């Protein structure tokens, strides 16, 4: 027999979370740490299933999550990575640690797809309709330009009539941001975080960046630091372990596995603290593929292109 069910199916509340529920959840996690979601509804009295609790935490309450408008650079990163990886939102999100995969997915579906379409038709109607030019190739061209020139809006100037709305859920979003701030002290001092830090694991909960977000300048600095941390993480964890053969055979398809199975838990922590191990496993599932691979792919791709020279000035890796 397997394990007992995580929660009773009857009496489960659905729909938007209330601030009160958030506080209960955050308080519980503050005390016990994330993980063991099965016990959360029981121990907190929340009428939510464990899955809902986990999603609420990972997508909304987790410290370090940045909400609101995407910067032009983030926009470029998303376009670029989407062209590269496809709809692998978790993989894409691993390059933007402050954004959740859900956030990126929503932003892509609601903003970027339209912008790209508009841009493509403005840039070159022939290219847009040319069936011999793959969509991913087109998007690569577009995304590289976006990265090097700042944003799609700057390029297709007319598309810039599309102004990004302010965060519509700002009232409650700001309150959850405050909840997240409550956790900062804990995140800095918790044993779990120390374990992650000691094992050089990619730290997705960049709680310090909360302060960085206060100013645009701080934003740039935090972007820079995020990517540097990713690079250092990859270096520390032996980039060579990435399965290049898999990657090379599937440049733009869906075999890019963000889970980095080659990094074994046992290499990271002694096999005695099951809780920490579980968290490590959870975090490693969103670790990014080596950037050097992405760079290589981009360089290879550019070899056969006509007017990509100026686009190669900046890439997600070299632009920082």
Closer Cβ to DNA, 65 or 227, answer by number: 65
168 touches DNA by CB under 7 A: yes
Q: Is 219 in the site for DNA (CB under 7 A)?
A: no
**Minimal distance, residue 6 CB to DNA, in Å:** 2
| Cα–Cα distance for residue pair 139/59, rounded to 1 Å | 27
Per rule CB under 7 A, is residue 192 in the interface with DNA? no
> Is 165 a binder of DNA (CB under 7 A)?
yes
Binding DNA (rule: CB under 7 A), the pick from 15, 45, 216, 270 is 15
Of 23, 27, 33, 90, which lies in the binding site for DNA, with binding defined by CB under 7 A? 90
Q: Which of residues 273-292 bind DNA (CB under 7 A)?
A: 274, 278, 281-282, 285-286
| Number of alpha helices (DSSP H) and beta strands (DSSP E) in the chain | 19, 0
Between residues 53 and 142, which has the closer beta carbon with respect to DNA?
A: 53
DSSP letters along 133-146, please? S-HHHHHHHHHHHH
Contacts with 30 (C-beta within 8 Å, 6 or more apart), sequence order: 182, 183, 186
State which residue, 281 or 296, has the beta carbon closest to DNA: 281
Give 165's contacts (C-beta < 8 A, 6+ positions apart). none
51 makes contact with DNA (CB under 7 A): yes
The reply on whether position 17 binds DNA by CB under 7 A is yes
Report whether 58 contacts 214 (CB < 8 A): no
Count of positions on this chain that bind DNA (CB under 7 A): 56
Quick check: 66 binds DNA (CB under 7 A)?
Answer: no
Angstrom distance (rounded) from CA 215 to CA 222? 10
- Among 37, 95, 119, 242, interactor with DNA by CB under 7 A: 37
Gap between the Cα atoms of 139 and 22, Å rounded: 39
Nearer to DNA among residue 109 and residue 318 (C-beta): 109
What is the residue whose two structure tokens read 């998007």? 139
End-to-end CA distance of the chain: 52
45: how many CB neighbours lie within 10 A of its CB? 8
Three-state DSSP class for 216? helix
Residues that bind DNA (CB under 7 A): 1-7, 13-17, 35-38, 48, 50-52, 54-56, 58-60, 67, 87-91, 101-103, 105-107, 109-111, 114, 165, 167-169, 173, 258-259, 261, 274, 278, 281-282, 285-286
């Amino acid at each position: 027999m397997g394990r007992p069910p995580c929660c009773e199916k009857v009496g489960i509340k659905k729909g938007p979370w209330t601030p009160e529920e958030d506080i209960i959840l955050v308080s519980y996690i503050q005390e016990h740490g994330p993980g063991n979601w099965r016990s959360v509804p029981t121990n907190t009295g929340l009428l939510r299933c464990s899955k809902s609790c986990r999603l609420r935490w990972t997508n909304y309450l987790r410290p370090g999550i940045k909400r609101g408008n995407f910067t032009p650079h983030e926009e470029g990163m998303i376009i670029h990575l989407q062209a590269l990886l496809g709809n692998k939102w978790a993989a894409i999100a691993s390059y933007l640690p402050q954004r959740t995969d859900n956030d990126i997915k929503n932003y892509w579906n609601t903003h970027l797809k339209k912008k790209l379409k508009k841009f493509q038709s403005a840039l070159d109607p022939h290219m847009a309709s040319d069936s011999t030019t793959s969509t991913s190739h087109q998007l690569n061209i577009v995304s590289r330009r976006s990265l090097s020139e700042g944003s799609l809006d700057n390029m297709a100037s007319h598309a810039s009539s599309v102004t990004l709305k302010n965060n519509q859920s700002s009232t409650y979003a700001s309150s959850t941001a405050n909840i997240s701030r409550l956790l900062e002290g804990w995140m800095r001092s918790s044993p779990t975080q120390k374990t992650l830090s000691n094992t050089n694991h990619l730290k997705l909960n960049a709680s310090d960046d909360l302060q960085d977000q206060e100013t645009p300048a701080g934003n740039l600095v935090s972007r820079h630091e995020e990517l540097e941390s990713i690079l250092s993480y990859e270096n520390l964890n032996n980039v060579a372990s990435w399965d290049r053969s898999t990657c090379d055979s599937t440049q733009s398809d869906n075999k890019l596995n963000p889970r980095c199975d080659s990094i074994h838990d046992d290499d990271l922590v002694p096999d005695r603290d099951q809780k920490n191990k579980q968290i490590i496993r959870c975090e490693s599932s969103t670790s990014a593929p080596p950037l050097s691979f992405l760079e290589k792919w981009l360089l290879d791709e550019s070899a056969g292109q006509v007017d990509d020279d100026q686009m190669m000035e900046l890439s997600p890796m070299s632009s920082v």
